[in-house]
Structure 1
Amino acid sequence: MNGFEKRSALIKDKIMKTTMELLKTWEVKRLRIADIAKAASVSQVTIYNYFGSKEALIGESFKAFIEDSIREFEEEMQQKKSLKERMTYFIVKDKETYSSLPPALVKQLMIDDLVMYQYIQQQYDDRLVPLMVQMVEEGKAGGEISPKVSVEAVLLVIQMYIKSSGEMLDSVEKHEDKERFLEELFHIFFYGLCGQEAAE
């Protein structure tokens, strides 16, 4: 990559990161290219040259956001950590993601947009599933996951969680205390209704 290409890549990355920052407080329909250009300190022409439209810019920005999240996930899995430490990391990252972006926006981009949904699903199948399998197998080998729980069962629950995320986000959006409700949902997902397995 030559100097011009590096500068172009940096400008494009800055525009996308600025877009994601603005989407934390702006509704998609109200956010204008002019607003993004001003916040990113670039011209509107520059944005149109790189992305063509506001819709394309938002789509590329969200894909870059997903890519960064997956890369962090991959780096985390390379660390020698316990299952509890990894779970804590996942909970914190999920909370950060849903707390920083309005639930309605996440639903619009991840669920309602078919092309984006298919992209995320492909990333999940190709990159996240192998890592989740690795995590579960390491957890079972280390005695951190009950031998009663199979890898397939864990992955099925994760898939069910993803498929119902649209309805869940709708419920979160309507809840008075969004942060506490999200924390409850994450707790149920990772630890179950009882919090721990009852003694036999």
Structure 2
Amino acid sequence: MNGFEKRANLIKNKIMKTTFNMLRTSGPKRIRIADISKEAKVSQVTIYNYFGSKETLLQEVFKNYANNVIAEFEDYMNGGHSLKEKIEYILFMEKKYYNELSPGLIKELLIDDQELTRYVEEVYKEKTLPLTIRIIGEGKKSGEISEDVSIESVLGFIQLFMNQYELILGMAQQSSDLDKFLDGMVHMFFYGICGKP
């Protein structure tokens, strides 16, 4: 990479980082190229030269964020952790990212952007789902997940949990001990309310 390419990369990354930080406090519809330009200390023309439109910039920012999340997910799943730790990570990975981009903000980004919605569905089908299925299969082989429970049942239970994630996190934040609350949720995921069988 020559000096021009390095400089161009630095400017592009600066624009994307600025946009990401602005997304965390404002919705995508409230962000203007003029605001990004002022905050990033680059001209509006520079932003248009690199990205073409605000929509393309937002797509690239979100895809970059999602790619980083997926890379961390894959690293963790392949990192020699116990099944319980892996399931806990799946259930609560959003806890880490919730303060970066809330589920409501992500929905707002996806609602009017079919390309971004397709991208998210593709990543889920091609990366996240197969890796999760592999982890569940490994748990069944090792006896950590009952043979009586199908992979589809575990996936369904995880999905039920994640569909209510915002509500569960809100309850956890209102509890006197957030970590204890979340540990209890993981315990119930594995053993129900009666403890280990």
Scaled by the length of structure 2, the TM-score of the pair is 0.77
Query: What letter is aligned with 1:10?
Result: L
Are residues 23 and 195 of structure 1, via their aligned partners in 2, closer, same or farther at CA, if it must alter by over 3 Å?
Answer: farther
Contact persistence 2:83–2:139 (CA under 8 A): yes
Offset at residue 104 of structure 1 (A): 2.7
C-alpha distance in 2 between matches for 1:161 and 1:12? 37
Trace 1:137-152 onto structure 2 (pairs within 5 A): 137-152=137-152
Structure with the greater alpha carbon radius of gyration: 2
Offset at residue 109 of structure 1 (A): 2.0
Are residues 199 and 155 of structure 1, via their aligned partners in 2, closer, same or farther at CA, if it must alter by over 3 Å?
Answer: closer
What 5-or-longer segments of structure 1 have no aligned partner? none
Offset at residue 16 of structure 1 (A): 1.5
C-alpha distance in 2 between matches for 1:128 and 1:41? 37
Are residues 178 and 188 of structure 1, via their aligned partners in 2, closer, same or farther at CA, if it must alter by over 3 Å?
Answer: closer
C-alpha distance in 2 between matches for 1:122 and 1:186? 31
Offset at residue 156 of structure 1 (A): 4.1
Number of the residue aligned with 1:86:
86
C-alpha distance in 2 between matches for 1:44 and 1:55? 14
- Single out whichever of 93-102 and 132-141 deviates more from structure 2: 93-102
Offset at residue 91 of structure 1 (A): 4.0
C-alpha distance in 2 between matches for 1:114 and 1:191? 37
Classify the secondary structure of the residue corresponding to 1:29.
Answer: helix
Contact persistence 1:87–1:190 (CA under 8 A): no
Number of the residue aligned with 1:65:
65
Classify the secondary structure of the residue corresponding to 2:29.
Answer: coil
What 5-or-longer segments of structure 2 have no aligned partner? none
Offset at residue 134 of structure 1 (A): 1.7
Trace 1:8-157 onto structure 2 (pairs within 5 A): 8-157=8-157
